Structures are given as structure tokens and as C-alpha cells.
Structure 1
Amino acid sequence: MFKILAFTGVLLATACSSLATDKPGYTVIKQFNLPPELAETSGLYCPDQNSLYTINDSGNKPVIYQLNLLGAIQQQVEIDAKNRDWESLTGDEQNFYIGDIGNNNGKRKVVEIYVFDKKPGNTSISRTLKVSYLYNAINKNEYLNHDFDAEAFVSVDDKLVLFSKSWKSNNLHIYELNKTDLSQKVAPVVTVEGLPGIVTGVDYNKLTREYVLVGYSLHGLGSFSPFIAKMDRRYNLLASYPLVGFNQVEGVCVSPNGEVWISQESSFFSTQKLAKLFLR
């Protein structure tokens, strides 16, 4: 069951910058420091204009956190499932979809997506989708040097669209998954070149019919060059822009009114953040 948290002193604990800052292709409207519980925030989902949802990645509790628009935790629910490497969160009218899809070392034969009914008081998953990649030879994969990792997927109509985290080639592989098949072996429907790094988050803007992606290039321990990008519905890359002033950006979501939110994980050179952007 969701539990209301007393987040005392939120005005003191939450750092906020509301001064709009123009960058090429976008404007940073506001940004906030997230609470310590979300140091490893990894996915972001905003189904309405009043709240956001996020998760932490591997080694953390299997919890979905609901945030207000200041980045403060409002509610949380612990799921009856294991958090092996939760990396992405999306949803539709009925369900959350939690992506236990992280695979940095390339040794997972199967990754999992937990389907969780949004009904109040629920803590049990409805079903688990087990997904394996065609052509994935795990005995040949090396840590951070293969294309069978992922941190980003999104619900679009009757499918889940999964975006690879391609460490080796830096070419984005896109997969379309069925929401109901319990066992799926998938091949890319398209491969996209030209992104400035690996993809860590994605959402679909229904108003513009475009995908919004975030990710980064990794230069060393704690040194990231993050970006935000747009694709059309047919997965053609439209534009990408560096996210100046950010670091390990892990999540993105687009609210029904077109507001773009991004989340940043805590890293060596930065703290966990939430920011609202206007993407031109």
C-alpha cells in the first residue's frame, strides 16, 4: 500500500533554482535537488501534470516513489519483486512497467519487465515479461563493451519500445516488445546512428509525436557528457543537444501538457537532481 511520508523541512532540504536558463535547443525552467533516498534514481514517469514517479537502480529496495513537482517524496510502494537492476519505469492507463533490464556486464541471458497494476493498495506484480536478445552471445560479451544492455523503454499504444545502451558500437538498437507475451526473443526493428552517447532514458511526447531521449558519453570515473535528443515516430533522429550543467542523467519523461522533466543520479561530481525543461 502507498504510504504517505512526512517529508519534514522540505523547503530547507530541497534546493531549487527557478531562474530560466536558455541553452541551444532547450531552456532549463527549474531544477531541484532530490532527497537522499533517491541518490540512484534511474527511471522517470509523469502520467499527469501534478506528479512524477521514479525508481532506484540495482542494489536498492524494489520501491516506486511518487514525487511532487518540487522533487519531494509524497508516496511510496514496495513491490513484491526483486530489484536486480531496475533501470526504467513507464506506464499506461492500467499498469506500471518496471524494467529490470540493466546488463552492464553482458552476462544476463534474460532481462525482465514487471507489470504492476496501478490499483490502490496493490503490492504484487501482475506478470513478468522475460525478454532475450537475438544474436546475444553472452560468452563473448565484455563488461561495458557490448550492445546488449538497456536502461530505457516507454509504453506507446499497445507496445513497449526498448532502446539499447550500446557500449560497444554506440549505435542505438530499438526493439518493439509485446505487453502480454510472457517470453519474447527480440531483434532490433531499426538501428540509429549519430547520437553523441549511450541512451539512458526515453519517453514519447504525444503532442508532437516525437520520442525524447537522454543519455551521456562516459569519459572516466564520474565524468559524463549528457545530452537530450528528439526522434520522430519512425525513429529518425531529429536533433540532439548537450545538457550543459548536468552530469549522470538517467531519466526523462514528458507530461501530458508537453513539459519535459529529467532526473540525474548522484555521482562523484554531482548530486541527484530533478529538472524541468522547455524543449524547442
Structure 2
Amino acid sequence: MIYIKRLIFLLFIVSSCQSTGQLKIEARITEELEEVSAAEFSKNSDLTWVIQDAGNTNNLIGLNQNGHIVRNLYITNAKNRDWEDLTSDAHGNIYIGDFGNNNKKRKTFTIYKVNQEDLNAGTATAERIEFTLHKDQKSEDFESFFIFNDSFYIFSKEHKKFVVLKVKNRTGKQVAEVHSKYNLKGKNNKITSADISKDGKTIVLLNHDKLWELSNFKGDDFFSGDIREIEFEHNSQKEGICFKTDSTVVITDERKDFEGGYIYTFNLN
């Protein structure tokens, strides 16, 4: 029965011209990776870099355009406590956000910096950026972030009002600044991943069935401009988003049985 369901699903995908809702399917991620929780591009590389969720190995993984593993970088001084998102800087360094906190009891959070020159190696020792919360900020589940002007902006995953932390891109320990709080309109607004375009003019926040596009903001007052909600007409456990170009994003979702586990593209225009 499972085989028949899988066959029917694959036939549906083929007959729909490799699209689902407004998402274009680019590849199926290898079955070895069931819990892909982020996606990111690095400067001068056409690989899609991904990680897996809590409890999986501490590997940064590079996928080719067919969704196959071509890089599998073991981070020697890290532990996948709850890896949730990826971001990169203008130099091609990739940062792993280990700040998932489902039980909301976590006190210390870590961002691992993987240097660009190590991305072709088999192992790497990452730089560690550790942060704690201000005494007036309660512990939350953080699942998304991006880097802007050499600081990280980290979003909590909430039904309603969420908090945005600001953490300096500086090795060592620090206390996160509470940058802002915001409440998106509507329901089902948990943010699972985020990214900012290379030109710094557009932000995307991801949810399982939609995204929010932020534009025309001033400085790092990200909610001061236009906010557009875009529905996908498709619902799955989408956990990763990153910009491929300034108007096109790549999205990944987790695999559940024969559904999910895809790399999609979506045009914002």
C-alpha cells in the first residue's frame, strides 16, 4: 500500500509539471536526510547547504542540483543540540544556528561559524558565538535568523507576538539584545526560517504554508516598511528558506513518509 501511495504521489508531481501550488519542485532530497531544517547558499558555490534537526549528527551538508550529497562536513567541536537555521556572510562563511528550544528551558545558545576555506574539507573546527538572554527576556524557541551589518537577527517561533534578538558577530560569550517585538496579522504565524537578500533590501520569513516578504524598511527597523503575506497553496513542514537571487528563494521541507523532502524555488515577483 505504501508503495502504491508513493507511486500515485510521484505521478501527480510529474503530471503537475514539477510544481505544487506556487512552488516549483527542483529536486527530491536524498532519503538519507529526513529532517532538513535549513537551507543556505555560500558565495562562489552552487551547492545548497543544509543541516538536520535536533538529535542528528553535527554535519553541514552540501547538496547538488539533484538533491544528492556531495559535501558532508563534520564539525569537530560542535554538538547538534537543536540546529535550526543557516545563514552566510559576504565572505562565504556559513553560520549554524543552534538555538532551538522546544521546552523553553534552555539558558545558553550557540552560533557556529564555519569558515569558507573549510567547506571543501571533510572536517572543520568552527568558531563559537555563544549568547544568553537578558534577565528580563524569558527563554523562547528560536528557529530562524540571518546576518545583517555584521549582526545576527534571531526570531522566536510564536503563534502571535514574537521577539527578535540581536547578537553581534563576535566570537565568545555575550548577552543578546532584545531588538524588537512584532505581531504579524492573521493566524498560524510561527516563523520556521528567515533570510535577507544579498542587496539587503528584502527579508523573507517562512511558515509551513506561506511566507512574509518585508521590504522598504529603514536600517534594521525591519517592520517599518511594507509587509506582504504570500500563500503557497501548499502545506508541508517547511523549515528552510534562502535567497538564490534577489527575487527568487529556495525552500526545503522535512520528509514524512513519502511526502516532503523536496527542494523548491519560489519567485517573489
Q: TM-score, normalised by structure 2?
A: 0.81
Cα deviations by residue, 1:31-73 (Å, 9 ceiling, x for unpaired): 4321112210001102357221000011111111111223222
Alignment correspondent of 1:124 = 124
In structure 2, the CA distance between the partners of 1:79 and 1:240, relative to structure 1 (3 Å rule), is same
Deviation at 1:94, TM superposition (A): 4.6
Aligned 8 A contact 1:249 1:262 in 2? yes
Alignment correspondent of 1:8 = none
Alignment correspondent of 2:143 = 151
Cα deviations by residue, 1:126-151 (Å, 9 ceiling, x for unpaired): 4211112222446xxxxxxxxx1111
Unaligned runs of 5+ in 1: 1-14, 139-147, 217-225
Q: Distance in 1 between matches of 2:242 and 2:102?
A: 23
Q: Distance in 1 between matches of 2:53 and 2:161?
A: 24
2:33 aligns with one of 20, 35, 38: 38
Is 2:155 the partner of 1:163?
yes
What secondary structure is seen at the aligned counterpart in 2 of 1:65? Answer: strand
In structure 2, the CA distance between the partners of 1:278 and 1:165, relative to structure 1 (3 Å rule), is same
1:98 aligns with one of 96, 116, 122: 96
What secondary structure is seen at the aligned counterpart in 1 of 2:38? Answer: strand
Runs of 4+ deviating beyond 6 Å = none
Alignment correspondent of 1:144 = none
Is 2:37 the partner of 1:54?
no
Cα deviations by residue, 1:174-224 (Å, 9 ceiling, x for unpaired): 1221011522222321212125411111111134711011024xxxxxxxx
In structure 2, the CA distance between the partners of 1:156 and 1:201, relative to structure 1 (3 Å rule), is same
Alignment correspondent of 1:28 = 23
State the one-letter code of the partner of 2:211. I
Tell me the C-alpha RMSD between the 2 structures.
2.5
Q: TM-score, normalised by structure 1?
A: 0.78
Aligned 8 A contact 1:90 1:154 in 2? yes
What is the identity percentage for the equivalent residue pairs of Structure 1 and Structure 2? 25
Q: Distance in 2 between matches of 1:95 and 1:269?
A: 34
Aligned 8 A contact 2:198 2:246 in 1? no
1:213 aligns with one of 194, 198, 205: 205
Is 2:196 the partner of 1:175?
no
Alignment correspondent of 1:5 = none
Aligned 8 A contact 2:206 2:239 in 1? yes
Is 2:249 the partner of 1:249?
no
Deviation at 1:19, TM superposition (A): 2.6
Aligned 8 A contact 2:59 2:74 in 1? yes
* 1:58-137 aligned within 5 A: 58-80=54-76, 81-92=78-89, 93-120=91-118, 121=121, 123-134=123-134, 135-137=136-138
What secondary structure is seen at the aligned counterpart in 2 of 1:36? Answer: coil
